[in-house]
Amino acid sequence: MTADFDLLVVGNETEACLSAVAAARAGARTCLLIAPQAMLGGLLTEDGLSFVDRDARHLTPPAESPHDGLFGQFLARAGVPLVALEPLAGADTLADMLAEAGVTLIRADWSAVVPEGNRLRALTLATGETLSSRHFLDATPDGDLAEAAGMRFTSGFREYGLKKTLGISPLPVVKGVSPARILETCELLARNPELEALRRRIFGERRFLELDHGADYVLIGPPHLGLAYQLWRETEGIPTPYRFEADGFNVAVTGADQTSWNGLMYFSDDAETLLRLSREGADTVFQAEALHFERFLRSALGWTEARVELPWGVYVRQTRHALETRCRLTLEAIARADVPDPLGTFCYYADFRGFHAPKLPGPLIAPILLDTGLAANVLNLGIASRAGGYTPFAHSLCRLVQYNATLGTALGVAASMADDDLGKVSVVELRSELGRMGILADDPKGFETHAAIRQAMREDALISLESEPVAAL
């Protein structure tokens, strides 16, 4: 039986779209399967994450950066100056790129996988029809296709015996307040002795990024604004089923007096709640939280013109992790300089998300590993998802949209080269093909300090904790 496609990509995330574009450009008959009402771009568009974590490259416009690969081409076409992506422009750009590459876009729900030995043969749609393919790629946020194919998952940091998850953030749009006003207020808050004492009591020696701003962003590294909101919430007696914790904010400037905020941090230890929010978006609790934030901005900060909307969704940083990829990305792999056969690299400044960590002399360089995106027991299944092949520590460090977009791009091209097993594609040949296509992402920034970074990480407790025996799941 002849397959309908060479590659069937499932999911509407940015990494799904770019993986499909890369495969089609490489000559593969490619299909992108998304839910009927889904918006192309997922987290960066329908969920409203306008501040794109390009990290070590964020001061270079995407159109001028040679190291962002296909992800950078997307950002440049969407009109991103440095980091701020307008959601509708992002979705329209992805639609154009898919159409230009000749990707077949199907809007339909699927109900089951059709296995054939140690491979997948087809997906059954909710209508009863089937779509067959030589290869499959799961680019869903929660690894839904991989789960249906039999892959096991774990949630949070459970495998290390830690009752800890990463945060959930509603992504409100604030109107009526200029970036200059935001900066002025943050500078005043940082000089508030009560807030500074609270920062020391709660966070101890934890390091935060400095207050920074550029043409299209305000980076509120210090947590003083978040702490002011926390105190205000306590004074007002505002309850929430999701525990609130103060942190810094990434603020994307999307207009003269319009900004998109990422950094309101809430927590749930319930895996089912995290999956529900990831799949369904903001619930009534988070809609109410947006109104509370507006009252705080007006009454406590004096931003009387502020209007807060929650037009998009929520950012669930971590739902679950696949346990059965051929290789899991670890802190140890990131700290090494001699990882064999990387497809490229991704350079970023470390964010240990609440763990005490050493002060690093520069950005980390994460290797893009093909085996991180390959299912261990299904030969023709790849996964480029934040539910993919990472330990929770590596997940907490990586900026996973760009990392997964880069990994997915490589998997898409690999699908154009592989007959049966995606893992049999020569990484050297694949890297060469990515370079020929002009979409190789290999960032040299930071190599001059990488030896010192590796040493600092190896002396830190996180490395030893990650290497301890895995707890029973």
Average confidence (pLDDT) over 394-423:
89
pLDDT digits (tens, 9 = 90+) for 114-125: 999 999 999 999
pLDDT digits (tens, 9 = 90+) for 305-321: 999 999 878 999 889 98
What domains lie within the chain, and their CATH numbers?
A: 5-155+321-467 (3.50.50.60), 168-316 (no CATH)
d(CA 441, CA 433): 12
Q: Are 34 and 40 in contact (CB under 8 A)?
A: yes
pLDDT value at position 292? Answer: 96
Buried b or exposed e, range 174-196, using 16+ CB within 10 angstroms: bbbbbbebbbebbeebbeeeebe
Q: Are 33 and 9 in contact (CB under 8 A)?
A: yes
Provide the 3-class DSSP secondary structure of residue 305: coil
Q: How confident is the model at residue 1 (pLDDT cuts 50, 70, 90)?
A: very low
Q: Are 220 and 248 in contact (CB under 8 A)?
A: yes
In a 13 Å sphere around the CA of 418, the CA atoms on its Cβ side amount to: 27
pLDDT digits (tens, 9 = 90+) for 374-389: 999 999 999 999 999 9
Q: How confident is the model at residue 338 (pLDDT cuts 50, 70, 90)?
A: low
Compute the mean pLDDT over every residue in the chain, rounded to the nearest whole number: 89
- The secondary structure of residue 59, as a DSSP letter, is T
pLDDT value at position 147? Answer: 96
